[in-house]
């Protein structure tokens, strides 16, 4: 028996009519978050959208065909659910569960400078009031 037929791809996963799964569990199975607690925290924070509407709780059910929009690291992810997983498997299996609709946002633009906080030389002591104001101006922090 070949190992390729055992991989859960959208073609190998039986389609259940009306099948659904919790959004936090799906995000964890699709390997967007290292733990289910992190996925649950995002879903409960109100920063996750399901088909354009805010999700208020981690137990919100999702189905194949739904579109999720959420922040991850320094970018906004737009994902379409293709299949529901049975387990948290390897990355190749997890990538078969979704389609990334924002392909342009996967790579940083050429010539873009990553934002880093202002830094001071080690051992230079506490910043003066003038230096602190300059740092705050760089960060766009209101007084």
Query: Does 137 reside within a domain?
Result: no
Mean per-residue pLDDT, 61-88: 92
Whole-structure pTM value: 0.63
**What is the pLDDT, as a whole number, of residue 16?**
53
What total number of domains does the chain contain? 1
Average pLDDT, rounded, for the chain: 81
Query: Does 122 reside within a domain?
Result: no
66 confidence band (pLDDT: 50, 70, 90): very high
Which structure tokens are listed for 126? Answer: 């506490």
**What is the pLDDT, as a whole number, of residue 9?**
52
C-alpha distances in angstroms, 8 versus 3, 72, 141?
A: 11, 25, 48
Query: Does 135 reside within a domain?
Result: no
- Of the candidates 109, 24, 120, the residue with the CA atom closest to the CA atom of residue 75: 109
The CATH number of whichever domain residue 94 belongs to comes to 3.10.290.10
Query: Does 73 reside within a domain?
Result: yes
Better-scored residue on pLDDT, 81 or 102? 81
CA atoms within 13 A on the CB side of 70: 26
Query: Does 91 reside within a domain?
Result: yes
**What is the pLDDT, as a whole number, of residue 102?**
82
* H or E element in which residue 129 lies: helix 129-139
User: What pLDDT digit, counting tens, does each position of 25-46 carry?
Assistant: 999 999 999 999 999 999 999 8
């Amino acid at each position: 028996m070949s190992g390729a037929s055992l991989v859960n791809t959208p073609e190998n996963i039986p389609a259940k009519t009306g099948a659904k799964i919790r959004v936090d569990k799906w995000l964890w199975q699709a390997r967007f978050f290292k733990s289910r607690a992190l996925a649950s925290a995002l879903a409960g924070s109100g920063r996750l959208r399901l088909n354009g509407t805010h999700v208020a709780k981690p137990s919100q059910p999702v189905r194949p065909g739904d579109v999720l929009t959420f922040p991850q690291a320094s970018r906004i992810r737009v994902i379409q659910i293709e299949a529901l997983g049975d387990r948290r498997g390897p990355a190749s299996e997890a990538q078969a569960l979704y389609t990334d609709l924002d392909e342009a946002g996967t790579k940083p633009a050429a010539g873009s400078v990553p934002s880093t906080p202002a830094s001071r030389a080690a051992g230079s002591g506490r910043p003066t009031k003038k230096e602190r104001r300059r740092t705050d101006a760089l960060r766009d922090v209101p007084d």
